[in-house]
């Protein structure tokens, strides 16, 4: 990468490469509240370690965070439980769909990783158990997630979209099945419906590209926000979250994403993708049309161009 990239030019090139594909892919409709989102939306924000933010398109429009929330709940759970978290969830790629149940029976209810739905439900179960026993944090696990996002983004407006949360809960049979199945193995513990409610609400957080890229910046700088200087996570845990994102951030599409973009990333069925470029910054894109694995099609195309222009792939 050059010493001082021409950011306006790079962002224009990204927009130019993405534009012919606007509207491609399929908007998630298994959560009815997401089905009506305009598939032609597209936004991207690049947040840099020096505090600069470079934005194009619908960068300030809030979208449903969905599975991108799993990165932040993983960070919270690692802060509290440390390596004990790995007793009930693995860190191997699943090679299966995000909502798959097939591996859980032969693997004694322990999900392959914290980014598939089953694994994220286990992470949330840890948080729900911790916060329900901790009167110092009456706002619970979702309150802690919101506080983390708001503090890091410097923006108190980040909130749960309650209509999306309700829609997820009403159509959440597969997630309920996963949670009850894992509870049968003792992997999910305590009040299952409380854990599910927390999981649905974390997925329903509404956030913009600008807010998301800013909130995640600590992940690109060893767990410490480079602008505020605030440490969120130890550097060791930060590296490990990025490793899990690299291997499993896109489920059965993780290999293709690594091949094309070469950076740790996390997709969400709201059409968002968060990407971490260690030592450089973070990128958040949003475009609602998805591929079969639930990754934004236009978002991935735009990221390919960004990485081509910046040389940010960790494989150089």
Residues that bind ligand DON (CB under 6 A): 66-67, 98-99, 117, 168, 175, 203, 267-269, 294
d(CA 247, CA 244): 5
**Alpha-carbon distances, residue 133 vs 119, 136, 139 (angstroms):** 22, 9, 12
Q: Measured from the CB atom, is 48 or 247 closer to ligand DON?
A: 247
Q: Please, what is the minimum distance in Å from the beta carbon of residue 240 to ligand DON?
A: 20
For residues 48 and 206, which CB has a smaller minimum distance to ligand DON in the complex? 206
Query: Rounded to the nearest whole angstrom, what is the least distance from the CB of residue 132 to ligand DON in the complex?
Result: 21
Q: Which one, 201 or 309, has the nearer CB to ligand DON? A: 201
- Using left for φ > 0, alpha for ψ between -120 and 50, and beta otherwise, residue 25 falls in left
CB of 253 to ligand DON, least distance (A): 9
Q: How far is the CB of 1 from ligand DON (least distance, A)?
A: 29
- The answer to whether the CB of 287 falls within 8 A of the CB of 299 is yes
Closest approach of ligand DON to the CB of residue 175, in Å: 5
Rounded least distance, CB 231 to ligand DON, Å:
28
Distance, in Å, from the CA atom of 122 to the CA atom of 175, rounded to the nearest integer, reads 11
Distances from the Cα of 264 to the Cαs of 32, 161, 164, 244, 260, in angstroms? 29, 27, 27, 8, 11
The pair of three-digit structure tokens given for residue 150, joined into one six-digit string: 């708001």
**230-237 long-range contacts, CB within 8 A, separation 24+:** 230/151, 230/152, 232/75, 232/148, 232/152, 233/75, 233/78, 233/79, 237/75, 237/78, 237/79
Nearer to ligand DON, 25 or 281 (CB): 25
Nearer to ligand DON, 183 or 234 (CB): 183
Nearer to ligand DON, 144 or 169 (CB): 169
């Amino acid at each position: 990468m050059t010493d001082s990239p021409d950011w306006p030019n790079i962002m224009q090139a990204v927009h130019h490469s993405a534009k012919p594909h606007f509207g491609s892919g399929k908007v998630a409709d298994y959560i009815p509240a997401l089905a009506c989102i305009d598939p032609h939306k597209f936004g991207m924000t690049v947040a840099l370690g020096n505090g600069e933010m470079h934005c194009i398109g619908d960068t300030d429009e809030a979208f449903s965070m969905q599975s991108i929330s799993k990165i932040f709940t993983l960070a919270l759970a690692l802060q509290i439980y440390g390596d004990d978290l790995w007793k009930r969830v693995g860190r191997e790629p699943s090679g299966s769909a995000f909502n798959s149940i097939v591996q859980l029976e032969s693997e004694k209810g322990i999900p392959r990783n914290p980014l598939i739905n089953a694994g994220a439900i286990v992470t949330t179960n840890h948080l729900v158990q911790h916060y329900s026993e901790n009167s110092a944090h009456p706002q619970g696990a979702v309150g802690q997630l919101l506080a983390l996002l708001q503090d890091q983004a410097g923006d108190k407006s980040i909130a749960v979209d309650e209509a999306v949360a309700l829609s997820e809960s009403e159509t959440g049979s597969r997630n309920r099945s996963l949670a009850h199945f894992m509870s049968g193995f003792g992997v999910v513990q305590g009040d299952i419906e409380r854990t599910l409610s927390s999981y649905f609400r974390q997925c329903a957080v509404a956030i913009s590209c600008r807010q998301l890229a800013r909130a995640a910046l600590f992940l690109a700088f060893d767990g410490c926000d480079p602008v505020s200087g605030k440490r969120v996570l130890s550097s060791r845990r930060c590296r490990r979250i990025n490793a899990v994102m690299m291997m499993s951030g896109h489920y059965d599409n993780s290999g293709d994403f690594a091949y094309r973009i070469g950076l740790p990333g996390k997709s969400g069925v709201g059409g968002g993708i968060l990407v971490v470029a260690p030592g450089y910054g973070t990128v958040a894109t949003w475009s609602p049309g998805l591929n079969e694995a639930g990754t934004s099609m236009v978002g991935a195309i735009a990221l390919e161009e960004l990485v081509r222009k910046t040389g940010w792939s960790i494989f150089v």
